Amino acid sequence: FCILLQAMTEYDTENAHIAHLIAYRYYYRTRLFSDCSSGNSAGSTEQVGRPRWTKHVWNRAHAADSLQLCTVCFLDDVAHNFYFDTVCDCECALHLKCDALRITRSELDEADPETWFCPLCVATQQSMTILQQRRPLGSQSGEFEVQKVLDFDAVRELYVVKWKTYPASANCAIELSASFVGSVQEFWAAQIEKGV
């Protein structure tokens, strides 16, 4: 399932449906591949073939809350194998077991806050100059520039945004702000063109 999500993301990096699947991956994975009993036991009052949640499946579904998804290898892992407090200003969690990142906890612990950037930021930028210029802007004002609005969450009334000069793993859902109204207008114009 994780490999399917990875392949879909590589095919279309900005698809709202794929982003939704990734965000709700635990729910869909549990619903698709859980160990539900079939309800065929003698004396059962359930309909034949109707899935029944067992204690094992229930515990496994809730254990998924402690799992994290690596945005590089798209594999789930326990939170212990992620590093959450990097000195990089993107504040992305780094998967320590990811073959593509090849990073260690000791390397992250010893990183210089003035010069070190995470592998996600380094991979998405053309030059270190851009990375070095963005750091003081975010730390001084606390404001970050929205590059593009990717989706709208109608339930929570939040916009999913891509931050300028930050990797896709730093994308997040935020409330509407005057600072990115132009990007919101472009997003809705594109939705109207698509007929959504």
Residues 108 and 105: their CA atoms lie apart, in Å, by: 5
pLDDT > 90: percent of the chain: 11
Measured CA to CA, the distance from residue 52 to residue 33 in angstroms comes to: 13
The predicted pLDDT at position 183 comes to: 92
Q: What is the largest CA-CA distance in the chain?
A: 71
DSSP states along 8-73: HHHH-TT-HHHHHHHHTHHHHHHHHH---B-S-STT--SPTT--B--HHHHHHHHHGGGEEE-TTT
- pTM (predicted TM-score): 0.51
* pLDDT tens per residue, range 140-170: 656 678 889 999 988 888 898 988 888 877 8
What burial class does residue 84 get, using C-beta atoms within 10 Å of its C-beta: 0-12 exposed, 13-18 middle, 19+ buried?
A: exposed
Residue 59 contacts residue 86 (beta carbons within 8 Å): no
Residue 20: phi, psi to the nearest 5?
-65, -45
